[in-house]
């Protein structure tokens, strides 16, 4: 027990100054892709301290408490070379510049997984910088803008690429070790350490962009430049692709303790299609609404205390074409009870595709209706939001 306390005190003396350095560096960073509600899409990380030694929780997934330096060094040496820098010319205010973010080599054929906003912001020839500094041109194969993912292909004749092992993000739990590796503010292959802070986080985005859904939250430090980099578990497996940081406190696009990563299982769901050059489309209903709670139902005299009260429908969208109107109440989709908008969006993402027909249970006044809706693709821009009620 005395030895353990000594180790913890020793670790504490190192961690605290490292955290201070990380905060100072984070405040100084002012680059990034800003999303909704002060949430920037990023590429970056900062500095972290030493910690830790895993213990077996008795489950099939390795939990972590206090980790030693040897484990983290080994993890970094194993996976670090598979993290590349994705770079190219970008259009900036006042002229052209060069932008750099991160990517993950995911197989021996040279496929690189990164963020869609990384390649979307680049113009002209895109390159990756491999471990050792070699620059190699890459081709953008497919993209999933709705999940902020893209797949690149790098050709290295006669060479072998280091590959990052892919994990299973469905096994991740809050408190698990989280290790981020990427290229923050141009710093090559920086490693930071934290934990998984939360699951199934949803982030709205500006304009017509679909919200990012089912994200992993972490406190492993990430900053501009780390977009497309890896979030690893204690076994060194990729469980997420670092994507965004929350800068709502002060609106600074630098790390403040809340970072987000797209779970690797979402990427795997669409990976083969992206490798084949497809731009992934996500299903769209074309409605906006408010979640019904017991308090809202009582206040507004609604007949149920759950469901979605429709505020408006997109003109000529799928919901409008099926006859849905403002003030309708949607209580179920395909027989599944709806308690939130996330219930609706999550179901469509996980189990439906563009062109599928879904069945909505709708209350309109004293009548219960069943409406069948053919899902459309998420649009590049929205039409007029019709707030008229049905007569």
Could you read off the pLDDT tens digit of each residue along the chain, which spans 391 residues? 444 434 433 433 333 233 333 332 332 332 333 333 334 454 433 223 333 333 333 443 443 445 678 889 999 999 999 999 998 887 655 546 677 899 999 999 999 999 999 998 787 789 999 988 889 999 999 999 999 999 999 988 777 899 999 999 999 999 999 999 999 987 889 999 999 999 989 888 776 678 888 999 999 998 888 999 999 999 999 999 999 887 665 555 566 789 999 999 999 999 999 999 999 999 999 998 999 998 888 888 889 989 999 999 998 899 999 999 999 999 999 999 998 888 888 889 888 999 999 999 999 988 999 999 999 998 877 778 889 888 6
Q: What CATH number has the domain spanning 2-275?
A: 2.40.10.120
Q: Own/partner pairs for 307-311, CB < 8 Å, 24+ apart? A: 307/331, 307/332, 307/338, 307/363, 308/338, 308/341, 308/344, 311/387
Residue 282 bears catalytic tag = no
What is the spatial distance between Cα 120 and Cα 43, in angstroms, rounded to a whole number? 13
Tell me whether residue 360 is exposed, middle or buried, using C-beta atoms within 10 angstroms of its C-beta: 0 to 12, 13 to 18, 19 or more. buried
- Look at residue 242 in the predicted model and tell me its pLDDT: 96
The residue from 102, 227, 234, 254 that is catalytic is: 227
Q: What is the pLDDT of residue 248?
A: 60
Each domain of the chain, given as residue ranges in start order, spans 2-275, 283-386
**What is the per-residue pLDDT for 144?**
95
For residue 96, count other CB atoms closer than 10 A to its CB: 10
In 316-378, where does DSSP find H-type helix? Answer: 318-321, 341-351
- Separation of alpha carbons 177 and 195, rounded Å: 4
Pairwise CA distance, residues 197 & 216, whole Å: 8
Residue 325 pLDDT: 92
Q: 111, 117, 282, 306: which one is catalytic?
A: 117
CA distances (Å), origin 271, targets 22, 104, 154, 161, 163: 34, 13, 16, 19, 16
Q: Are the C-beta atoms of 104 and 86 separated by less than 8 Å?
A: no
Q: Please give the CATH topology (third level) of the domain spanning 283-386.
A: Pdz3 Domain (2.30.42)
- Does the active-site annotation cover 227? yes
Torsion of CA 48, 52, 58, 59, to 10 degrees: 20
Cα 146 to Cα 127, 143, 213, 336: the distances in Å are 24, 9, 9, 24
The answer for residues whose C-beta is within 8 angstroms of residue 228's C-beta and 6 or more apart is 43, 86, 101, 102, 103, 104, 113, 114, 115, 118, 182, 241, 242
Tokens of 8: 């913890």
pLDDT value, residue 91: 61
pLDDT at 25: 30
- Cα 344 from Cα 326, distance rounded (Å): 17
Per-residue pLDDT at 282: 92
* 211 part of the active site: no
Please tell me which residue in 148, 176, 246, 349 is annotated as part of the active site: 148
Please give the Cα distance from 383 to 248 (Å, whole number): 29
Give the up-direction half-sphere exposure of residue 341: CA atoms within 13 A in the CB hemisphere: 17
């Amino acid at each position: 027990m005395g030895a353990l306390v000594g180790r913890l005190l020793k670790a504490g003396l190192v961690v605290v100054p490292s955290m201070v350095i990380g905060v100072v560096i984070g405040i100084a960073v002012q680059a990034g892709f800003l999303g909704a509600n002060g949430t920037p899409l990023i590429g970056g990380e900062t500095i972290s301290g030493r910690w830790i030694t895993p213990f077996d929780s008795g489950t099939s997934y390795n939990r972590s408490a206090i980790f030693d330096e040897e484990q983290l060094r080994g993890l970094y040496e194993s996976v670090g070379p598979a993290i590349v820098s994705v770079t190219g010319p970008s259009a900036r205010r006042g002229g052209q510049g060069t932008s750099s973010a991160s990517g993950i080599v995911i197989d021996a054929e040279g496929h690189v997984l990164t963020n869609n906003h990384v390649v979307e912001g680049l113009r002209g020839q895109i390159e990756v910088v491999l471990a050792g500094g070699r620059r190699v041109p890459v081709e953008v194969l497919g993209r999933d803008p709705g999940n902020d993912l893209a797949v690149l292909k790098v050709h290295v004749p006669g060479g072998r690429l280091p590959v990052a092992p892919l994990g299973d993000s469905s096994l991740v739990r809050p408190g698990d070790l989280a290790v981020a590796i990427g290229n923050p503010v141009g710093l090559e292959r920086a490693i930071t350490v934290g934990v998984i802070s939360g699951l199934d986080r949803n982030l709205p985005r500006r304009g017509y962009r679909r919200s990012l859904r089912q994200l992993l939250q972490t406190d492993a430090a990430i900053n501009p430049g780390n977009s497309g980099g890896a979030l690893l578990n204690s076994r060194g497996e990729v469980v997420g692709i670092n994507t965004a940081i929350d800068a709502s406190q002060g609106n600074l696009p630098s790390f403040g303790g809340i970072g987000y990563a797209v779970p690797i299982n979402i990427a795997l769901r669409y990976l083969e299609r992206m490798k084949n050059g497809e731009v992934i489309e996500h299903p769209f209903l074309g409605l906006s609404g408010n979640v019904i709670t017991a308090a809202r139902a009582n206040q507004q005299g609604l007949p149920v205390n759950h469901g979605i009260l429709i505020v408006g429908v997109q003109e000529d969208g799928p919901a409008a074409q099926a006859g849905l109107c403002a003030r309708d109440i949607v209580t179920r989709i395909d027989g599944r009870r709806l308690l939130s908008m996330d219930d609706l969006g999550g179901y469509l993402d996980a189990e439906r595709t563009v062109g599928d027909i879904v069945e909505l249970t709708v209350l309109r006044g004293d009548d219960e209706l069943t409406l069948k809706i053919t899902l459309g693709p998420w649009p590049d821009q929205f039409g007029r939001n019709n707030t008229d009620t049905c007569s």
